[in-house]
Amino acid sequence: MRAELLKNIRAAEPYVPGEQPRNKVIKLNTNENPYPPAPGVGRVLREMDADCFRLYPDPTAGDLVNALADFYGVGEDQVFVGVGSDDVLSLCFLTFFNSGRPVLFPDITYSFYKVWAGLYRIPYECPELDENFRIVREDYYRENGGIIFPNPNAPTAIYEELDFVEDILSHNRDSIVIVDEAYVDFAGRSAMELIDKYDNLIVVQTFSKARSMAGMRIGYAVSNPELIRCLNNVKYSFNSYTMSQAAIACGVEAVKDREYFEQGVRRITETREWAKEELAKLGFVFPDSKANFIFARHPEHDAGELFEKLRADGIFVRHWNGEKIGQYLRITVGTREEMQTLFDFLKKELG
């Protein structure tokens, strides 16, 4: 293309999602849930009258907001919903990281943060994790234009207790701190319980992991009413109808079924604990996972080669190149049977 045309076009370096193969494979590469969503979700879909799609959906997604507010015991004005937490997080970047000062997030973390910062021209700095892949809290004591980190972090799967989160919040009273809790249901306490105490806190969660609904695209933020209003103002300056009728109705059903949700989380965490033992027996080393994936390396086998061999056998895991993480594989916790197939293959392969 001609340079004169190109120079005024917004350039973006996009996020690269994990592969979504359409044939039958063992899919342990994008941290999806191997079990179906709550039974009510299927029922609502089957009973849905397509005529409802004639009309625009409720722009506030009020039914879903109410269901989440009930579930977490917060006000309806404290919940914001979006098209997956990627949508919510990208709107958070646009809304809250507007000071011109660098936003801080770890050097090894969810790679979409860099993409949004680049797209919106937000300056950022990435303090290094320590040698055990832990976030160093003192690195977040300096002046900044906002802070974001996942807890548990991705792809390390390491969870920090709430006193750690609170320490970062209390050292940054004048900055917005976003805690991306995509995987917190598999880990421990959510920072949501700190919302009344810290007016600079936003907690973001998703239906894609513990609620088994990655394909429906639902994410949400919980914060104080003022910050939620700011987020809504930006959303309504962008697209009023982000949530489809189907997403709103299915989301409500998923939230209502607390028992199914808790049982599903238990099933994944039990499989994860067993998978850690099996991986250790095979000689893998990994930080202690509190998520629905394990970030593991084998001291004697090249991760890139293992990744390719697994892939050729129809077992998909995730691998990134890079100096610090190039020898690691990120393995999603699937069903016990899927994990057994993985371990059988690895046993053969590693000899």
> Rule CB under 6 A: which residues touch ligand PMP?
84-86, 110, 150, 154, 180, 182, 206, 208, 214, 219
| CB closer to ligand PMP out of 110 and 198 | 110
* Nearest residue to ligand PMP, by Cβ distance, number only: 84
Min dist. Cβ of residue 225 to ligand PMP (A):
23
Q: 101 and 110 in contact (C-beta within 8 Å)? A: no
Alpha-carbon dihedral angle through residues 305, 307, 309, 312, given to the nearest 10 degrees: -140
Question: CB 272 → ligand PMP: shortest distance, Å?
Answer: 16
Neighbours of 179 (CB within 10 A): 24
Q: Where are the alpha helices (DSSP H) in 209-302?
A: 225-235, 245-256, 258-281
Asked whether the beta carbons of 68 and 55 are under 8 A apart, the reply is no
Backbone angles phi, psi at 344, to 5 degrees: -60, -45
> In whole angstroms, what is the distance from residue 134 CA to residue 20 CA?
30
Compute, in degrees rounded to 10, the torsion defined by CA atoms 68, 71, 73, 77.
10
Residue closer to ligand PMP by CB (options 181, 253) is 181
What DSSP letter does each residue of 80-144 carry, written as one string?
A: EEESHHHHHHHHHHHHH--SSSPEE--SSS-THHHHHHHHTT--EE-PPP-TTS---GGGGSS--
Q: How far is the CB of 29 from ligand PMP (least distance, A)?
A: 11
Write down the least CB distance from residue 9 to ligand PMP, Å.
Answer: 26
Instruction: CB nearer to ligand PMP: give 92 or 339.
Output: 92
Closer residue to ligand PMP, CB minimum distance, 37 or 219: 219
In the complex, minimum distance from the CB of residue 307 to ligand PMP, in angstroms, rounded to a whole number? 18
Specify the residue, 15 or 345, whose C-beta has the smaller distance to ligand PMP.
15
Residue 136 C-beta: closest distance to ligand PMP, Å: 19
Closest to ligand PMP by CB, 57 or 84: 84
